[in-house]
Structure 1
Amino acid sequence: MISYWIFFCLFIALLLFLEKSGGIFRDSSNLLPTGGKKPFSLSRILLAWWVLIILPGFTAILIGTGFIPVLSSQMLVLLGVSGGTTLISRVVDAVDLQTAQAAGANPRSIDNPSAGFWKDILSDNGGINIHRVLSVLTNLIVGSWMIVTFCINLQHIPETPMQADANNLLPQIETATLVLLGISAGIYTTVKATENRA
């Protein structure tokens, strides 16, 4: 369990360094007022959240057993949902930028300067939105469960572990949970298509 938290803290430090040096958690806006900071991106935050949970667990299992754990199809689907949400969000923003520039329309929601972490990820031009709150809560709850499960499983590494033991240390995600996360991501990306025009 200790090794998980060591790697967890190391990955947090790495992500914070990348955020400070390159703004990896922020939207890709080029239309901000002088001196304004880009707002935080919910899709990027959620992708980083899942990477932050899975990679420390993966690394702790590798170090603790000597075997590379084979990621289950459920784990790959989870990463795919997060990555797909980020990709779709980027496409939506790029299309809306072209539309706004061509029509001389009002700035998109991501063209507003940052109002702080929580307000950025929970709000658009119209204020706090329920679909963003739903997405944050769903991912926060399931992610917290995975962290606890990793910590519990890592306390039961056999003295002479085998490949199967390394695989079994990974949290097993129920299909219904993946469906819930998929629905949450689907609602977010669908509504996001209208946010920049809000």
Structure 2
Amino acid sequence: MKRYIPISAILIACLTAAGCRSASFLDGKQAVYDSKQTIAWVVIVLIGGLFLALASYSNLLRDEISNDDEFAANAKTLQQTKSWIKVDTRAPFSLTKVQFGIWTVIISSVYVYVSLCRGDCAAGSINQTALVLMGIFSGTAAASTIMDKNEMSDNRPRHQNAPSQGFFIDILSDDNGISLHRFQNFAWTVIAITVYLYKASQTTKGGELPELSDTLLALTGISSATYLVLKNQENDPPAHALPEPATVVPVGAVQTPQQPAS
């Protein structure tokens, strides 16, 4: 019996060493995962914090003022009609810039999260949904900027040449106040963001960036296109302010002179 003790002791020692090696290996993997997760959240917080700071203290998400005199007159009128509020001396927020900025932050943050917290860097490759969303909102922002530049070159009165009245009022209002086409574009943006973030939270290990359905992507694109079409007419002069067309007399027609009243 005594000759088997050394063999048992050797087996126990080997198993103990293997267990310690396995535990240290698992601890090492856990430490690597924890460090990657920490880096991911630090980057996400930096992206979000920088975006919020620039949105609050710069003109990153605001419309461009084309006429300082018109802006001052609108500020004075606003102060007289709404004397209970403090008039903001900055330009109003732009709906397209807000959408473009928010989607940039969301997609970049989700990419960092999926790459470092749910897999390796190769797992979080940019997919079709991310490309379509960035294409829709970058294209909408570019088209909106071109429209604004054309209006500025015409020197026409613009509802953007007025002080900010608050974030939601700014992005939902046109020259006639809060408008339906801006609201529906804002609503579909909120729906798409909610679904995208929910799917990002459900991503498993080794997963990829969230995928949205083709229907939701199509509705988002239609909403942005509708907004652009109606935005192009927001600062048009009213119908009663347009000059009346001149009366055209057909060639060869004889005009009967009017008889003086007796």
TM-score range, shorter chain: 0.7 to 0.9
Answering whether residue 185 of structure 2 is matched by residue 135 of structure 1, we say: yes
Match in the other structure for 1:89: 144
Q: Secondary structure at the match of 1:194?
A: coil
Tell me how far apart the structure 2 counterparts of residues 20 and 179 of structure 1 sit (CA, whole Å).
32
CA drift of 1:175 comes to 1.0
Match in the other structure for 1:62: 115
The aligned amino acid for 2:63 is D
CA drift of 1:151 comes to 1.3
Tell me how far apart the structure 2 counterparts of residues 10 and 109 of structure 1 sit (CA, whole Å).
34
Match in the other structure for 1:48: 101
The aligned amino acid for 1:22 is S
Answering whether residue 27 of structure 2 is matched by residue 25 of structure 1, we say: no
Higher relative contact order (CA 8 A, sep 6+): 1
Is the 2:147–2:232 Cα contact (8 Å) retained in structure 1? yes
Instruction: State which drifts further: 115-124 or 26-35.
Output: 26-35
Q: Secondary structure at the match of 2:110?
A: helix
Out of 33, 37, 43, the position equivalent to 2:90 is 37
After superposition, the CA RMSD in angstroms is 2.1
Answering whether residue 222 of structure 2 is matched by residue 183 of structure 1, we say: yes
TM-score by length of 1: 0.83
Tell me how far apart the structure 2 counterparts of residues 42 and 8 of structure 1 sit (CA, whole Å).
23
What is the percentage of aligned positions where both structures have the same residue? 27
CA drift of 1:136 comes to 0.6
CA drift of 1:7 comes to 5.1
Number of aligned residue pairs:
181
CA drift of 1:123 comes to 0.4
Is the 2:181–2:226 Cα contact (8 Å) retained in structure 1? yes
Is the 1:11–1:52 Cα contact (8 Å) retained in structure 2? yes
Tell me how far apart the structure 2 counterparts of residues 19 and 80 of structure 1 sit (CA, whole Å).
22
Tell me how far apart the structure 2 counterparts of residues 5 and 143 of structure 1 sit (CA, whole Å).
19
Instruction: State which drifts further: 125-134 or 3-12.
Output: 3-12
Structure 1 82/180 Cα, relative in aligned 2: closer, same or farther at 3 Å? same
The aligned amino acid for 2:59 is G
Instruction: State which drifts further: 57-66 or 132-141.
Output: 57-66
Tell me how far apart the structure 2 counterparts of residues 183 and 97 of structure 1 sit (CA, whole Å).
27
Is the 1:11–1:56 Cα contact (8 Å) retained in structure 2? yes
How does 1:100-179 map onto structure 2 within 5 Å? 101=155, 105=156, 107-153=157-203, 156-157=204-205, 165=206, 168-179=207-218
Match in the other structure for 1:162: none
Cα deviation 1:15-66 (Å, max 9, x = unaligned): 1222234310101114232872100000001111211211111011222223
How does 1:69-88 map onto structure 2 within 5 Å? 69-88=124-143
CA drift of 1:109 comes to 1.2
CA drift of 1:77 comes to 1.1
Cα deviation 1:68-103 (Å, max 9, x = unaligned): 42211232011000000000000000001111x2xx
Higher helix share: 1
Q: Which sections of structure 2, spanning at least 5 residues, go unmatched?
A: 1-36, 76-87, 238-262
The structure with more radius of gyration: 2
TM-score by length of 2: 0.64
Tell me how far apart the structure 1 counterparts of residues 44 and 176 of structure 2 sit (CA, whole Å).
35
Is the 1:8–1:53 Cα contact (8 Å) retained in structure 2? no
